[in-house]
Chain A
Amino acid sequence: MPKRPFGSDCVEEGCIMTRFDNKVVLVTGAANGIGRCMVERFLKEGVEELVAVDIEVDTLEDAFGDEERVHTITCDVTDYDAVHRMVDEAVEKYGRIDILMNNAGICFKDGEKYGMLTCPKEAWDRVVATNLNGSFYVAQAVAQRMVERKTKGVIVNTSSNTFRFIPKYLGAYPATKAAISIYTKQFAKELAEYGIRVNAFGPGTTKTRMSEPTRSNPKMNEQFLNDIPMHRYGEVREAVDTALFLASEESSFMLGEIIFEDGGQSL
């Protein structure tokens, strides 16, 4: 953690701030995995006003229910009206949103069940509804509030490396993450004039619940590790480091960029 935030003009001894001083942060998909670690890291770096959003109310409350600096909201991002209620609640609570970590997403994995020949309509639709539509609803709703309140904010979308190297049997997941990467660039170009930066990061196979089926399948495990030049899986910490870099002023000249964070798996 840098003790002197990037871009600070202060050089005096003892002039110590963090890179997220006075920022209001909203994280979706905050109950598990990368999103949960994002919240923990923002808190560790001194963020005082944070909104943690997830559909899994019990896990979310267990994680952050007792944390004074976190305001938890239960929300299903596939529900457009619920997303707007959620964002209004967040803005009402803290006055604005400076940083959106648009992270909620799902993936179905079960052998070949979610291959293109066999993927059930319900599974396809649900992944599209959550990863593509849901994350767009959140990004749009937050961007609208940022523009209204003239917040020169930052939006960080969670993409994936899967749309660059296309592993088999992941149903709609790679396609939705490709779509997120495209709308990241659309948002970036259109919001630049308001001083809002929009970028995305594309984690590879990270040690989370979502990748558990891959890592515990001996055949896939071997193939995946062979394909990663660094011959290991990503730690959640590493994905969050990238995400927080994009959320901070350290990336102040980056716009519409996708950082793949996958050990070289998709090269």
Chain B
Amino acid sequence: MKSKRSEFFDNAIVSGPGQKEFEEKIYAEAQAKRWPRVAEGEGKFEGQVAIVTGAAGGQGEMEAKMIAQQGAKVYMADIEEEGLKRVEAAINADGGEAVAFPMDVADEDAWRAFVKKVLDESGRLDVLVNNAGMCQNGTVLTETRESLNRIMDVDCWGVFNGMHYCAPAIIESGGGTIVNTCSYQGTHFGPGSFIGYAMAKAAVMGMTRAAATDLGAYGIRVNAVNPGLVLSGMTLPRGQNRKGLVEASSMKRYALPEEIASVVVFLASDDSSFINGEFIAADGGATTYLHLATADER
């Protein structure tokens, strides 16, 4: 029996005629895939409340769907209201619980209102997935301090805001998990010129480690996923950057959004209950580098 996934893997051609249409079709299929709620009492997040940002599409959508599938009530933030409503409807139709909250992660007032809404309605918060992000092409020569404001607001400060406003609520709920979304661009700076993206993602790596040490004693684990190239609304229009990245990865393909979401589910759930401060690369082998000793002298 051949699954749709293995068909995708066999056909994940990287360039040529029809590639764009092929990718759009695969992405539409990935979005249409259903993630029905597992039997009551058998999920990884039973009785828990989660926040997923950037949930209107791509890997954020799958993260929301898969966390809801495993029993959590998922509050979803995104700046794209229409997509968010679509995901909310899909999750609720499949027996999960989802609430859409259209907002800009760079807006601190919105974060205060969001966390207040979650606590007022559900009384607790267990999981935060900081997934919202944007990408912008530009080099050190072409970008300016001003032109980088927006990407730093979203990709760097958006993540800090999420941790800053949600951590007290998670502590109050007796501990939980935070999963940030990083990128190989924060560590490796692969093909393509994205200085703003690289700066912001490197900052996310730093704040993930710092928060992991700060919050460990409160029973909050903080980790990050480093996705490689994933089919999403962010990468679909960037076909020109894709070829080099696929070539650089050992698997010679890009990922379905659900393959990153499954790593996030692992990091957000008790399956990873002793993992703290880690960046988990899910990039098909694009960055098989070593985290050598970075700890202080002991």
Contacts and interface: CB of A to CB of B under 8 A. Distances in A.
Given A3-B39, A166-B293, A189-B288, A253 B275 contact: no
A3 B38 contact: yes
A266 interface: yes
A227 B69 CA distance: 36
A218 interface: no
B283 A253 contact: yes
Contacts of A259: 275, 278, 280
**Main SS of the interface on chain B?**
loop
A139 B39 CA distance: 38
Interface string A141-171: 0000000000000000000000111110000
A39 interface: no
Q: Chain A interface: which size bin? A: 35 or more
Interface residues of B, number: 56
Given A229-B212, A264-B213, A254 B282 contact: yes
Contact of B290 (A182, A234, A235, A252): A182
A106 interface: no
B227 to A, nearest CB: 8
B284 interface: yes
B298 interface: yes
Interface in A1-33: 2-4, 6-9, 11
Contacts of B284: 192, 253, 255
A259 B38 CA distance: 27
B266 A245 contact: yes
Interface in A233-250: 234-235, 238-239, 241-242, 245, 249-250
Interface string B72-113: 000000000000000000000000000000000000000000
Interface string A171-189: 0000000000110010011
Contacts of B36: 4, 11
Most B-side CB within 10 Å, residue of A192, A229, A239, A263: A229
Contacts of B4: 9
B285 A188 contact: yes
A101 B130 CA distance: 32
B27 to A, nearest CB: 15
A123 interface: no
Contacts of B221: 230
Nearest to B286: A255
Interface of B: 3-5, 33-34, 36, 38-39, 42, 44, 69-70, 209, 212-213, 216-217, 221, 227-228, 249-252, 255, 258-260, 262-263, 265-266, 270-278, 280-285, 288-295, 298
Interface of A: 2-4, 6-9, 11, 163-167, 181-182, 185, 188-189, 192-193, 203-204, 227-231, 234-235, 238-239, 241-242, 245, 249-264, 266-267
11 contacts: A3-B38, A7-B5, A8-B3, A11-B36, A192-B252, A235-B274, A251-B263, A254-B282, A256-B250, A262-B275, A267-B294
